[in-house]
A and B are shown apart, each in its own frame.
Chain A
């Protein structure tokens, strides 16, 4: 098949323009790659989650009760909207792992004797299902098994409800309920220190002293069921048995984390790719406008031969289409690779079977469509100009580029410039839009890089503040259930303990107007030293007795401000109800809740003298001794050491952030280099004749290079500070965009983030400009004299 002549011209021109094609396509590819990665990952994660939740029957609603006799379960199953229920026994225990001093907390969950759970199914990953006739056979969760190198056949010593038991691990399992397994009172998965243990209902019922009864129910709702009505019905039915208030997935930590992650991915997919695409549009506009300008006479000639405006327009459009397809192809490949890497990180954090990067065809189609749109937008102006060019005008030599003196003020300032600098200044002023494109492109690249550098800074700051300034205890002892405050004295006598501070944490339901929210209400002692409430200005906020302090998050959800009243309904104990005045709103970084002075809280709940955890300051050398004693104390459900928690937190926040930080360096540098390269190429092409003339006049290569590079240099000097300012604004804004239910990213800045970013971007720009500068060495001094411009 013979290509049409115009297409052969296209191919030849593309070969000539390949460097510029690469520059434009690279920027486009970055945008496409981010789009494919974020959108594809979003789809994959959402699909994997939904599939898992469906196939393994993730609970829609759950409720815990003090103790309800088995027959009550039948009533619950009959409630409207309920599709399936599972009544079970669950509780907290301590595990003593061989070779591990720190006690490990375990969530114990009962398995029905003769079948799989109807809700929150348990999937066997290795080993076998426990024999219902053997009390001590258990399953453990996969993450915990891996972190502690436990395989079927392992033995565990468990302290359950004050009694020791030997447990035989017969299988490793996973469950949608524990995609993200977090210890009670914890914030993060710490698989080394927290495990899930599934065992027979009979045995566990006996262990927790709830024979013939259950203390937790999980529900699957039918399609179209109204969750609020169902929750209301459940609570009503369980009120007599000590129901603690049913809640939906929005209060199931594992589901909450997944939802959070999806929100971040969506934010990323909607903000980052457009920035790159926008820059690609500008670049294409500059490159194609230049192409059409140099091809004026060709266009005139073609038109005089009878080629129509449409076929000319199409011809130049094809350049854009080639750039777009090239960018889309590279972007898709890179995006798939990045997505695969991201999935591998997610696999470490989220235990979802079959979680892999698996973008569907529509993601790729969109990637192509979006880059085509970007390319056509970028090409539109140049293509229109080519189509509209009247053939006669096109054949005449182009009107000379009219330079003019700059404003008088600038001219005066320029008086001291040498001729070469004046050339540079006049060019910048003569092509303001092109100069602006370069500045904006470099600015955006810098701003993006600065922003990407702020995330790790922000995360480290969260950890530093949370585990250094706000929380200053060495260890937190969590009690199995709210305990009498006499236990504090006992804690104080544990080896190495210097000081003890109590905490009372309880789940409550807040109501303000028509809005309700279930959240944790924490009672802290006044002037608490070990656990301090900090707002984002790092000021310690003292909890007050005359009202309730809300985190910003909760206040927003309830739509209340200082001075408003919220009603608080306890979900356990006496189920007390109180109206409280909001006396302060704080902005903690991590999952905010509500806070009160401990004594006032106890009075409001009509349960004086109860505590649910103790913060201690201790001698770290006594840690083993303390651990030994804690393992003998039946009331203690978990010990967490601050140093471990902060290390896990840092690890999770930084998981993969190194890789992504590199990715942003590469992408931003590509953007800066692409912009600079295109600008320098165009400048060089337009000035080639002048530069050669300067060489003829006896200017050295260095001097001639100066004329070429000073333009980019001057634009860079403008772009760097502007980019830094934009970076500060963008970081601030993006941090706010990435705020989720659980995390608030503070905008914390370090000058090194700016310095490092500016260095990278400047290096990319200089590198690109130097690549173009090599053209100065190859200038054809003789050739330039033979031809008219």
Chain B
């Protein structure tokens, strides 16, 4: 099989248990999922159903308790710590609910922090242009609005041309109009760069921007539906 035909992620009976004995929490109770190259996947589900846990495992931030989690041909479940770090560095772009920008660096520097150590990054200014922040390069996070900060975070995530973009409730802390801007930035990256994207949301409307929608419940995948058509974020109303 050539690389192109390999799925980006292939999960087999993935389980995650926090704690032990009485207090054990089964966050993932056997997840099987395959994610294809270039796909935009939306994860939906009630609070506590295991969405973030899954995303963290996929991003190499957390380890599954059992099962396998293949990124292309390597199993993240059994990789060494340094390998996982390398994986995050080369292949993963993260976007979080709370932006997680470095307060002591400007927008541009936050992006450069990542591009400095990537192999073929786009210029930081170009990444910021892509998310519509070409004019705010030299502002510190404290000088930007929440939506702008989130877009800096997206620019930071996509500037290194990651293989996958993992977004955990990127619009959770934002109002509608701002949220649309942010989603547009994510969709743009997916379209223009072909970045495989996984996006967690609580908002069923947002699910319509994806290729497929994965519904979570209680640590299981309850259903997977393919959207007939991807709706551009600008047409969303919620």
Question: Which residues in B have their C-beta under 8 angstroms from that of A785?
Answer: 52, 56, 61, 96-98, 100, 168
B142 to chain A, nearest CB (A): 4
Please determine whether A403 and B90 come into contact, CB atoms closer than 8 angstroms: no
What is the total number of residues of chain A having a CB less than 8 Å from a CB of chain B?
33
Fill in one digit per residue for A691-721: 1 if any B CB lies within 8 Å of its CB, else 0. Answer: 0011111111100000000000000000000
Write out, one digit per residue, whether chain B residues 63-106 have a CB within 8 A of any chain A CB (1) or not (0). Answer: 00000000000000000001001111110101011101111111
B116 interface residue, CB < 8 Å from A?
yes
Are A400 and B103 in contact, with the CB atoms below 8 A? yes
A5 interfacial contact with B, CB 8 Å: no
Residue A461 at the chain B interface, CB threshold 8 Å? no
Whole-angstrom distance between the Cβ of B26 and the nearest chain A Cβ: 17
Q: Known interface pairs A697-B88, A782-B61. Does A400 touch B102 (Cβ–Cβ under 8 Å)?
A: no
Q: Mark B93-129, 1 if CB is under 8 A from A, else 0.
A: 0101110111111100110111011000000000000
Q: Bound state CA distance, A426 and B94, in angstroms?
A: 25
Knowing A782-B56, A785-B168, say if A419 contacts B141 (CB, 8 Å).
no
Answer yes or no: B32 CB below 8 A from chain A CBs.
no
Q: Is B211 an interface residue (CB 8 A)?
A: no
Complex Cα distance, B105 from A468, in Å, reads 64
CA distance A694 to B102 in the complex (A): 9
Please state if A419 and B109 are interface contacts (CB–CB under 8 Å).
yes
Question: When the two chains form their complex, are residues A419 and B94 in contact, meaning their CB atoms are under 8 A apart?
Answer: no
A784 near B116 with CB under 8 A, answer: no
Highest count of chain A CB atoms <10 Å: which of B52, B105, B110, B156: B105
The answer for the CA separation of A402 and B200 in the assembled complex, in Å, is 31
Chain A residues, CB < 8 A from B140: 402-404
Q: Are A698 and B112 neighbours in the complex by a CB distance under 8 Å? A: no
Known A-B contacts A401-B142, A788-B98; A697 and B114 likewise in contact (beta carbons under 8 Å) = yes
The listed residue (B82, B113, B141, B142) touching A697 by CB distance below 8 A is B113
Q: A404-B140, A697-B88, A782-B62 are in contact. Are A430 and B104 (CB under 8 A)?
A: yes
Choose one: B61, B96, B106, B116; the contact of A418 (CB below 8 Å).
B116
Q: Are A420 and B141 in contact (CB under 8 A)?
A: no
On whether the beta carbons of A426 and B104 are closer than 8 Å, the reply is: yes
Given contacts A427-B104, A690-B103, whether A700 and B82 have CB atoms under 8 Å apart is yes
Residues of the B chain whose Cβ atoms lie less than 8 Å from the Cβ of A694: 102, 113
Interface 1/0s, chain A 489-517, versus B by CB < 8 A?
00000000000000000000000000000
- Whether the pair A419, B98 counts as a contact (CB closer than 8 A) is no
Cβ contact of B89, chosen from A405, A422, A698, cutoff 8 A = A698
Instruction: Give the Cβ gap from A146 to chain B, nearest Cβ, in Å.
Output: 67
Nearest chain A residue, comparing its CB with the CB of B138: A405
Interchain CB contact under 8 A, A697 and B98: no
The contact of A698 among B52, B88, B98, B102, by CB within 8 Å, is B88
Complex Cα gap A420–B116 (Å): 10
On whether the beta carbons of B92 and A698 are closer than 8 Å, the reply is yes
* In contact, A400 and B100 (Cβ under 8 angstroms): no
A454 near B: Cβ within 8 Å? Answer: no
Given the complex of chains A and B, what is the CA–CA distance between A53 and B100 in angstroms?
75
Q: Which residue of A lies closest to B93 (CB)?
A: A697
Which chain B positions have C-beta within 8 A of A405?
106, 138
Shortest beta-carbon distance from B158 to chain A in Å = 13
Question: What residues of chain B lie closer than 8 Å to A699, measured between beta carbons?
Answer: 85, 89, 117
Assuming the A-B contacts A418-B116, A697-B113, A697-B114, are A784 and B100 also in contact, with contact meaning beta carbons closer than 8 angstroms in the complex? yes
Contact call A401/B94, Cβ cutoff below 8 A:
no
Q: Which residue of A lies closest to B110 (CB)?
A: A419
Give every chain A residue within 8 A of B92 (Cβ-Cβ): 698
Which residues from chain A contact B88 at a C-beta distance below 8 Å? Answer: 696-698
Please report the C-alpha to C-alpha distance between residue A354 and residue B88 in the assembled complex, in whole angstroms.
73
Per-residue B-contact encoding for A673-695, CB less than 8 Å = 1, 0 else = 00000000000000001100111
Are B102 and A693 neighbours in the complex by a CB distance under 8 Å?
yes
Residues of B within 8 A of A403 (CB): 103-105, 140, 142
Q: Once bound together, how far apart are the Cα atoms of A18 and B62, in whole Å?
A: 30
- Expressed in whole angstroms, the Cα–Cα distance for A385 and B138 within the complex equals 33
Do B105 and A423 have beta carbons less than 8 Å apart? yes
List residues of chain A with CB within 8 A of the CB of B90.
698
Q: Cα distance A385–B52 when bound, in Å? A: 39
The distance in angstroms between the C-alpha atoms of A588 and B86, with both chains bound, is 69
What is the CB-to-nearest-CB distance from A741 to chain B, in angstroms, rounded to a whole number?
A: 58
Which of B89, B104, B112, B113 is the most central at the interface, judged by chain A CB atoms within 10 Å of its CB?
Answer: B104
A117-167 contacts to B (CB < 8 Å): none
Closest partner residue, chain A, to B142 (CB atom): A400
Instruction: Name which residue of chain A comes closest to B141, CB basis.
Output: A400
A423 touches B94 (CB 8 A): no
Across-interface contacts of A787 in B (CB, < 8 A):
98
The smallest C-beta distance from B37 to any residue of chain A, in angstroms, reads: 21
* Docked-complex contact B100 and A696, CB < 8 angstroms: yes
| Interface residue? A629 (CB, 8 A) | no
Q: How far is the CB of B125 from the nearest CB of chain A, in Å? A: 15
- Give the Cβ gap from B64 to chain A, nearest Cβ, in Å: 13
Q: Is the CB of A423 within 8 A of B96?
A: no
CB B134 to nearest CB in A, in angstroms, measures 19
Select B100's contact among A419, A423, A689, A782, beta carbons within 8 Å.
A689
CB within 8 Å for A401 and B98 given contacts A700-B85, A785-B168: no
Q: How far is the CB of A406 from chain B (nearest CB, A)?
A: 11
CB-nearest residue of chain B relative to A418?
A: B116
Q: With A693-B101, A697-B156, A782-B56 given, can you name 9 additional A-B contacts, CB distance below 8 Å?
A: A403-B105, A403-B142, A405-B138, A419-B112, A419-B113, A698-B89, A782-B61, A785-B52, A788-B98
A residues lining the B interface (CB < 8 Å) = 400-405, 418-420, 422-423, 426-427, 430, 689-690, 693-701, 781-782, 784-789
Q: Could you list 18 A-B pairs, sorted by A, with CB under 8 Å?
A: A401-B103, A403-B105, A404-B140, A419-B105, A423-B104, A427-B104, A690-B102, A693-B102, A694-B102, A696-B88, A697-B88, A697-B156, A698-B92, A698-B114, A699-B117, A782-B61, A785-B61, A785-B98
* A-B CB proximity, top 7 nearest: A698-B89, A419-B113, A698-B88, A400-B142, A426-B104, A693-B100, A403-B104
